[in-house]
Structure 1
Amino acid sequence: MKRLLYLLAFVMSFSSVGQIERIEPPFWWSDMNLPELQIMFYGENIADFNVTGAEPVIINNVRRTENSNYLFVTINSADLKAGNYTFSFNKDGKKSFQQQYEIKKREDGSAERQGFDASDAMYLIMPDRFANGNPNNDSHPDMQEKANRGEQGGRHGGDLQGVIDHLDYLQDLGITALWSTPLLADDDENYSYHTYAQSDVYKIDPRYGTNEDYRRLADEMHKRDMKLIMDYVTNHWGAEHWMIKDLPTYDWINQFPGYENSNYRMTTQYDPHRSGRDFKYCVDGWFTRTMPDLNQGNPLVQNYLVQNAIWWIEYAGLDGFRVDTYSYNDKEGIAKWTKAIMDEYPNFNIVGEVWMHDQAQISYWQKDSEIGAIQSYNSHLPSVMDFTLHDAIGVMFNENESSWDRGMIKAYENFVNDFLYPDINNLLVFAENHDTNRLNEIYDGDLAKYKMAMSLILTTRGIPQLYYGSEIGMRGDKGKGDGDIRRDFPGGWKNDKNNAFTAEGRNETQEEFHSFTKKLLNFRKNNEVLHFGKLLQFLPVDNVYVYFRYNENDRVMVVINNSLETQQLDLSRYTEGLKTHVSGTDIISEKTIELKDKLSVEGQTSMIIKLK
């Protein structure tokens, strides 16, 4: 008996059982550009222990906080090769236990990975509403909210396997990049399907699948030459996050003390006349009561978020981030976070959600902005979202009678302000997303107006983004609740009567939307002039907007007639764009178009003419 007890004590002395409950990051990689790695050890009163690293580990710093359940250990990771390294935890001068930490071999070329750019067409999905590939994970014993497809705001069961199962559909459509709303664990009691209130940022929500499934999604996409974009949330976590329930430091989150809601007035970030109170309530206020606001001004928080983001890029093989509520963050903190990611991956891309309605205010947030430089600010953010174009698209196709400020002039004036942006090719252009009214709801399912909107989105400068289901005419009214603009994709569930993922399963209307979208997407995919070509636009006349995309080798003429009547265009007005070209092929009708004197364009139609 004594021998058994001795052996048990010996084993326990080299084990972390009962002492360390979590280690984050759970592992790391060799040959990273970051010279240091900060490992967070979490367990009951773990800070009471002294920690040492076995050769060749060099500990640069050990940080204790007011919460003794945390120990932040910073090591020199620059020269550590792949392998397992030992940390010893000692108390009262006696060795208490040891903990292994793994450094993995980094994949060749990881630092040089190419992010999404203007050659891509991005597809946005709400994974819970896209396709249910594994009904066995619809609910999970460790997560509070269970599946209820009959509830608009409930979990419906879409998952990672459902996305993987339909990658061929997306590839055939002409999509090259996928942005999924967040997939990390969200343990809110209700309304958790949107997953923006995360409860564990190192774990895929088990109702979507596993971390391995997420990596498998990236691998399957890369086989198809497609890119995966993670929706990353730096501004807030969920109230159910395990660290929020046991804060490492009081100022890990912004407190007033406790909860105060954001005023959502992002303009206070640069308003020279702002009040300090208004600024604080924008930046430090919580997005909602269930989403505590992270304090990026705390170096521990800042470092945690940087390492977590890099960990996911490296682990899952990501090609980009879309950062939620980018302009609500502490602007200096988010700039440091963004720069750290881009320093590690110089060819990566990050697009920030800057939901504003003025080009100067949006451009402030793009990397190297001269507007930001006025206040000595540089976000280092490569890409921003063109919300002003979105605003215009949502109204102008109902303005059939043009005037000084109505109709297609709205599109023209949007691009007039491109001089404000440092990189117009790195703007995300879109007609709708998961937070806005559905385009096909705004225009009452009008296919003609959808075609005009998509003709613009898929041929102008920037990176086009489509919202799932628009290509089959899906509708949704935000006034009826967010769930209505996030309906299930028909055919994503086993017993769906209508399977719009297949040609034979689509009804006539769905097929009309789909065939048009597929034709445009694949034309864009194969024509570099629409990716990085220059933009030449002409003032709209009679509500007809004409512009050209061109480079040294190719020219494409786009004509959008938003009036109800057929219009006769005098082509001499467009000589600057046509040059010597006298004919071309309209890729929509597939007809040869003569471009000599006049061009007849039917009402409420668009033409995309590849010049010969």
Structure 2
Amino acid sequence: MKKYVLLLSLFINFASNAQIDRVEPPFWWSDMHLSEVQIIFYGKNIAQNQITVSNGLVIKNIQKTENPNYVFVTIDTKNVAAQDFVFTFKNGKKSFTQNYALKSRRENSKFRKSFDASDVIYLIIPDRFANGNPKNDSSKDTNEKANRSIPGGRHGGDIAGIIKNLDYIKELGATALWPTPLCEDNDENHSYHGYGQSDVYKIDPRYGTNEEYLQLSSELHKRGMKNIMDYVTNHWGWKHWMYNDLPTYDWIHQFPGYSQSNYRMTTQFDKNASKIDTKNCMDGWFVPSMPDLNQSNPLVLNYLTQNAVWWIEYADLDGFRVDTYSYNDKVGISKWTKAITDEYPNFNIVGEVWMHDQAQMSYWQKDSKIGAIESFNSNLPSVMDFTLHDAIGNVFNENNASWDKGMIQVYDNFVNDFLYPNPNNLLVFAENHDTGRFNEIYKNDFKKHQMAMTLIATVRGIPQLYYGSEIGMNGDKGKGDADIRKDFPGGWDGDSNNAFTKQGRTAEQQKFFDFSSKLFTWRKSAAVIHSGKTTHYIPENNVYVYFRHNDPSDNELQTVMVVINNNPGKQTIKTSRFKENIQNFKSGKEVLTDKSFDLKDEIEIEGKSALILELKN
């Protein structure tokens, strides 16, 4: 009997050793630029095994760490056709196997077209947008359960709800969708925003499945729209499956233990910064529940790179928005970004660089001359124009212009475009999921809303809208993030107001929507706005005038004149001042009202209003 128990014990122990709990990435593709793939096999004492693979596939390297539950196996897939392989794990006389697939890529996957200045991006919080499948509101595998009565709780929005309302987003004039992270976030509370991810290869079951995410991409593409993933390189959530069993001690930044970031991103390039301040910014944790990833660890960097490429290939993505980009190890994140754009040369990535100075923001855009001073290149194609956002949040309440108040703030923002390597690839916005809501700041003043939306729709760059702004939604940042991330009315069965449909909107909501839809639908076909040059004029009497125009050598000469009157009173502007751009054009047709304006002598514009004039001969 003792002998039987001993044998049974040995068998159980071996079975435990043989168990593979995770394989990441779960599969790969043939004909990839990133052909050397580092596979993580995770299981109890997995590193004790010898590892071989079938079909002549080359294992380039096997790396073990201080944690025996991990083994990092690098395979070389160059010139290897799509097929299935079998890894064999052997420990003495005992062995077990693990299948692994190399799949075929989509045709022309490498050269996929990404988002650019021809697009309008619609940003949503998926949990707060629409509940298309109430059955997945809570999950037995995740901690936080749905409860709409809790402002910062899970409310049940999901991928099915997004798909259900894609035609609404298209009708608005948006051409690309940016949902905040959809991967699993298993925090006990406030998990709805998704930035504390617990599994970066798995869609949160309260949103749906990986297959449903593929369906979302497919449905967007059927409508000629693009899917932008919100990617987080700086941190995971403390419920991430690796956190309690780290592959290496330095997988995350430890001091030892926890230290919070000082949030002083200027230390990344400040020549006078102390080493401790620089370290605390870059290595400190964003918040206690978000372990800070160490991108200077090659294993971590490789993991993040492969995961990002995996999602692009798997879900047929069209772009990334990268959260807290400038908090990462800047050398590591520049390598991550380059690896992705090497794999996909046309792929656009916009990074969140929340700073309030154009020189500091431009440091982070690819090929920045400011970064080049210290031989740094972020390789990041796009950054977010936070200084324009800052101006938009104040300027429309400044009725009386002065040297530095009123529309001069907007003018001065574009004065500094010379700092950016590519100002046409900046993300322009009036608000997002982290800022005060525009309609709250301006108390739902429709005229001010019109001026702000006209501005971001017609200046250089890529406009981004925040869900609900187009129907006048507001929310007070002072009451907490949940108040600026309210449920979209009509997204849940039983909502008394359904703003997804014309018949369900209030008169006020319809007024906002009609304006927004007409403006951004017009922008879709306005090539001169997408790629034209800008000439602007110093504001006078709080009136800002600028032109978007093509070169005379272009096949179709097109000029658009934008007039934004931030003065409460009606203004008359003399057209002679703008002869440089008006040239021989005789009239301008206002794109939203179809009203014609004679350009011979002067133009009248109502107080607190905007005009978009397509110039005609």
CA displacement at 1:15 relative to structure 2: 10
Q: Show the 5 A alignment for 1:101-500.
A: 101-500=100-499
CA displacement at 1:19 relative to structure 2: 1.5
Corresponding position of 2:47: 47
* 2:17 and 2:46 in contact (8 A); partners too: no
Q: Distance in 2 between matches of 1:528 and 1:400?
A: 33
**Counterpart residue type for residue 591 of structure 1:** K
* 2:549 and 2:558 in contact (8 A); partners too: yes
Aligned residue pair count: 601
Q: Distance in 1 between matches of 2:80 and 2:149?
A: 52
CA displacement at 1:18 relative to structure 2: 4.8
Secondary structure of the residue aligned to 2:139 is coil
Q: Distance in 2 between matches of 1:432 and 1:83?
A: 47
Secondary structure of the residue aligned to 2:502 is coil
Which whole-Å deviations, capped at 9, do the CAs of 1:98-126 have from their partners, x for residues lacking one?
11101111111100001100000000000
* 2:48 and 2:68 in contact (8 A); partners too: yes
* 2:16 and 2:44 in contact (8 A); partners too: no
* Aligned alpha-carbon RMSD (Å): 1.4
Q: Distance in 1 between matches of 2:558 and 2:347?
A: 28
1:611 aligns with 2:610: no
Q: Show the 5 A alignment for 1:4-19.
A: 18-19=18-19
**Counterpart residue type for residue 32 of structure 1:** M
Secondary structure of the residue aligned to 1:584 is strand
Q: Show the 5 A alignment for 1:478-557.
A: 478-551=477-550, 552=554, 553-557=557-561
Corresponding position of 2:574: 570
Secondary structure of the residue aligned to 1:341 is helix
**Counterpart residue type for residue 607 of structure 1:** L
TM-score by length of 2: 0.96
Identical residues among aligned pairs (%): 64
Corresponding position of 2:596: 592
> Larger deviation: 94-103 or 364-373?
94-103
Q: 1:221 to 1:16 in 2, by over 3 A?
A: farther
* 2:17 and 2:44 in contact (8 A); partners too: no
**Counterpart residue type for residue 352 of structure 2:** E
CA displacement at 1:77 relative to structure 2: 1.2
Corresponding position of 1:26: 26
**Counterpart residue type for residue 565 of structure 2:** N
**Counterpart residue type for residue 484 of structure 1:** D
**Counterpart residue type for residue 46 of structure 1:** I
Secondary structure of the residue aligned to 1:245 is coil
Q: Distance in 2 between matches of 1:343 and 1:179?
A: 23
CA displacement at 1:589 relative to structure 2: 2.0
TM-score by length of 1: 0.97
- List 4+ stretches of structure 1 deviating above 6 A: 14-17
**Counterpart residue type for residue 115 of structure 2:** F
**Counterpart residue type for residue 70 of structure 2:** Y
CA displacement at 1:17 relative to structure 2: 9.4
Corresponding position of 1:3: none
Q: 1:17 to 1:140 in 2, by over 3 A?
A: farther
Q: Distance in 1 between matches of 2:231 and 2:562?
A: 35
* 2:175 and 2:226 in contact (8 A); partners too: yes
Secondary structure of the residue aligned to 1:246 is coil
Query: What stretches of structure 1 of length at least 5 have no aligned partner?
Result: 1-7
CA displacement at 1:95 relative to structure 2: 4.7
* 2:231 and 2:320 in contact (8 A); partners too: yes
* 2:286 and 2:292 in contact (8 A); partners too: yes
* 1:15 and 1:98 in contact (8 A); partners too: no
* 2:444 and 2:474 in contact (8 A); partners too: yes
Of residues 561, 569, 579 in structure 1, which corresponds to 2:583? Answer: 579
Q: Distance in 2 between matches of 1:207 and 1:72?
A: 31
Secondary structure of the residue aligned to 1:504 is helix
Q: 1:15 to 1:341 in 2, by over 3 A?
A: farther
Query: What stretches of structure 2 of length at least 5 have no aligned partner?
Result: 1-7
* 1:60 and 1:76 in contact (8 A); partners too: yes
**Counterpart residue type for residue 19 of structure 2:** Q
Corresponding position of 1:57: 57
Q: Distance in 2 between matches of 1:564 and 1:55?
A: 76
* 1:16 and 1:99 in contact (8 A); partners too: no
